[in-house]
Structure 1
Amino acid sequence: MMDIFINEIKNDSINIGHQDYYDDFHFLKPILENKKFVFLGESNPCVKEYDVAKVNLIKYLHQQLGFNVLAFEGDFGDCIIGDFLSTDLDSMKFMFGSIGRIRSNEYILELFDYIKETKQQQPLQLTGIDLNQNEDGHLSSFLRSQLPDNLKLILLEFEKRANEIIFDTRMMKRLRLRKEVEEIESIGNEFIKALEKHSFPTMTLRKITIRTVKNRLKLVKGAVKKSILKLFNYWDELKAENLKYLSQVYPNEKFMIWANNLDIMKKGSASCFPSYKSTFENLPHFIKETSYVLGLYAKEGQMIDDDEHHYPIKKASKKHLEWLLNHTPHQNCFIQCGLKWGQTKWKAFEGGNLRISFKPAEQYDGILYFKKVSPAYFSMKK
């Protein structure tokens, strides 16, 4: 049976180019022309080859197939406000304020150059689905420039106290903070009422701002009432709700969603933890049925963590997806998961070292595979 799998990889994988030249995606046209949502995964967010390939794929989908909305796994409010401000920002500030430090690097900067260039003719709209407020994010800076002094003080107090709870992982301390939730909720609700009365440049910006504040209130309550695993699940529920909301804001547009593999797996509970549901699993049926899900994996090379510490991708055995896909004659390739090899359970590495197992056909429609990858550094000056 293994020979059959290997022959499928050798015969059915499609070359996507190499190094900085990933632009041969014409084979995707018949596959994606009737899809409305294309999910672009990654086994790690700090990989040069992934970023370059995805940026070029996004350009292709936008130019050739009319995908005009990019939903980044960046903060919902920061990305949308950033797009609104983009014509007055240079690409670097546009990128940092939208997606934050860890996602920002020289390869993704090219994407933000491109988004700015499209605004004159066929705009590519940047949006976000996550709830991670960025340091110096666009939403906060926009509100500070728009709001009167009394509301600025409420904004600063709300952000400070909400972040203290959301990002404190010490369970005992978070449990003691339950007493503060009602007070923070009161501040947030007062702020929302003021925002509803405040004059914004557009009605959409008011709605986006209020939704972002409501999202953070939900996270504050979830952070003190839920276990870490349940909080992660809840976070994915909220991200799915944000994407559903965006599909209603742009009902006639086609979406590209940039996220990590675990978020977009169709059955995350079957590959990671039984109680875990991915963002994709939380989506409504009308999105799922018009989606194409693309995972990204690599055989070897270096990756980096959030502190830019290097580590190698673990060595794959014959039971690993990466070992099988490495039989492709191409340095980097695309392959659909509906073949026989995709019906079999394989191990795989997320982030280069987290071992999971799954049947590819249950999780993805296709995979972009890279034989060797290298880090994408995010230590760039704003």
Structure 2
Amino acid sequence: MFYRKNNISSEIDWLKGHTYRIQLHEFDDDSDLYFLKPLLQNKRIVFLGENGHGVAEHSQIKTKMIKYLHKELGFRVLAFESSFNDCSLCFYQQDQLDARQWMKHSLFKVWHTEEVEMLFHYAKETQLSNHPLILTGLDIQPASSDHITGKFLVKVFSNMDKTFGEKIAALEQEMFYQYANSRNPSISKKERKRKCKEWMTLYQEFLFLLDKNSLELQNKLGKDAFLLVNRILQNRMSLMQMISSHFVKAIKIRNKAMADNISWLAQEMFPNEKIIVWAHNGHIMKQSGRLLGFPSTFSYLPPKIKEFSYTISFFMYSGQAAENNRSVYEVRQPGQDSIEFRIKQAGHEIGFFDISQQRKVPQNRWLFQHTYTMHEGKQLNLIKPSACYDGLVVCSKTSSPNYINLD
């Protein structure tokens, strides 16, 4: 027993020497994030996770980190786990929107919060500088209730021919109906699959039309806008494939499509920019098969992108969080063998711990073994931290977001 107590004491002392404090009450002072510079200055993509979408502190910490990465390390592109299409188009229209409207039309409702709105105010401020923060997305699912992407496509193809505009308007209307009713049991799976296959063919026809008129459209729209239209249509095809598939296959299609969007952003749209990705821990996990039962978004990325990436997962030890439907729940406190309990022993309300540069010693062997963690503060899971993430953030106590009703 004496040996075990002595071992725990040694582990805690080691953690205190390797865990950094993040302070939220000093939100506008980012000097406490100095430890990020040597870890991230040579990285191309930084992935910021969250242990559930309804955690106020996670959004606050990530906003603080994003500001630091943007100002100090030259990261200019922020890609949300939200609609690639709507986020990308909203950025080009943001001069006509205030921060709240920009957030509303870009992001899923789970992020319509006061905490995330602070990020959009910051992004607004940067647009007047020589170093604006560019907001885009990853997901193939639509976010805007104002059908921003559909209106854009109608405008593009109507300029080619009025009939093309009418045809894609009808196609977008059908797509939204099928998406909204994708889990409606009254619609037969066979019929949905048939319709989605038909609409994929129609979206493919518009891709052929783009290719056929590429020179004319690039001159009219500009190269970036032309590339964006092409990517939007490919995302629509992936969405059709997703909503016509069973649950697990649909998740795989979505994760693969989000990875393809990250690759496209890094290689095609912003080949010379550093990128920040905001997504759930499950999406940014480097090895996920045994835990999730299917590959994560990160798993699908090409090796050359993985090599220059750094993934930071976020966890919570106690407090409250919210479901995607905004209902609040109590976080279950994990036991002494968990990631959360261990990092908490360093004595910080919010602690950051780097895994990527650690070598196995008796005090940190848990990093290289299967260790308990509480998925979304509700469900006990086993992960091997060193195989899944590069860094960890643990909040001793969390709260649910301050939601904004934007309907």
Matches within 5 A, 1:222-241: 222-224=242-244, 226-241=245-260
> What is the deviation of 1:30?
1.0
Percent identity, please: 28
- Supply the distance in 2 between the matched residues of 1:349 and 1:142 (Cα, whole angstroms): 42
Residue 90 (structure 1) aligns with: 98
Query: Paired residue for 1:73, among 78, 81, 89?
Result: 81
Check 1:117–1:95 CA distance in 2 against 1; reply closer, same or farther (3 A cut): same
Take 1:247 and 1:110, find their aligned partners in 2: how far apart are those partners? Answer: 26
2: CA distance, partners of 1:182 / 1:334: 47
Could you say which residue in structure 2 is the equivalent of 1:112? Answer: 120
Deviations 1:210-266 (A, max 9, x none): 322222212313432x43112201211111111101111211111111111000001
Which one is further off, 194-203 or 332-341?
A: 194-203
**Residue 169 (structure 1) aligns with:** 183
Whether the 8 Å contact between 1:294 and 1:367 is mirrored in structure 2 is yes
Distance 1:75 1:158 in 2: 18
Contact 2:19 2:346 in 1 (8 A): yes
In the TM superposition, 1:20-35 aligns within 5 A as: 21=27, 23=30, 24-35=32-43
Residue correspondence of structure 1 range 351-362 to structure 2 within 5 A: 351-362=376-387
Contact 2:75 2:275 in 1 (8 A): yes
| 1:43 to 1:13, Cα distance in 2 relative to 1, 3 A | same
Matching residue within 319, 323, 334 for 1:301: 319
Pairwise mapping of residues 251-262 of structure 1 onto structure 2 (< 5 A)?
Answer: 251-262=271-282
In the TM superposition, what whole-angstrom CA distance separates every residue of 1:301-348 from its partner, at most 9, and x where no partner exists? 111112211111112122322122221211111111236242232121
Q: TM-score with structure 1 length normalisation?
A: 0.91
List runs of 5+ in structure 1 lacking aligned partners: none
Q: Deviations over 1:49-81 (max 9, x none)?
A: 111111111010010000111111111111111
Task: Please report how far the alpha carbon of residue 268 of structure 1 lies from its aligned counterpart in structure 2 after TM superposition.
Answer: 1.0
SS in 1 for 2:352: strand
The farther-off stretch of 121-130 and 56-65 is: 121-130
Instruction: Mark the structure with the bigger radius of gyration.
Output: 2
Aligned to 2:399: 374
Contact in 2 for aligned 1:36/1:255 (Cα 8 Å) = yes
Residue 128 of structure 1 corresponds to: 137
> Match for 1:83: what amino acid?
F
Which residue matches 1:217? 237
Give, in whole Å, the separation in 2 of the partners of 1:60 and 1:178: 46
Q: Deviations over 1:72-117 (max 9, x none)?
A: 1111111111111112211111111111322121111121111122
Q: 2:301 maps to what in 1?
A: 283
Deviations, residues 151-202 of structure 1 (Å, cap 9, x unaligned): 4543342233224444512577223322223331243234445556585543
Are the aligned partners of 1:17 and 1:333 in contact in 2 as well (CA < 8 Å)? no
RMSD after superposition: 2.3
**Which residue of structure 1 aligns with residue 150 of structure 2?**
140
Write the distance in 1 (CA, Å) between the matches of 2:296 and 2:241.
21
Q: CA deviation at 1:31?
A: 1.1
Moved more, 74-83 or 170-179: 170-179
Aligned mate of 2:108, from 76, 100, 112: 100
Change (3 A) 1:376 1:116: same
Q: How many residues align?
A: 379
Tell me the amino acid that sits aligned with residue 266 of structure 2: S
Contact 1:299 1:371 (C-alpha < 8 Å) held by counterparts? yes
- The answer to which of 306-315 and 136-145 deviates more is 136-145
Select which of 318, 335, 350 maps to 1:317: 335
Instruction: Provide TM-score, normalisation by structure 2.
Output: 0.86
1:294 partner amino acid: I
- Structure 2 letter corresponding to 1:230: K
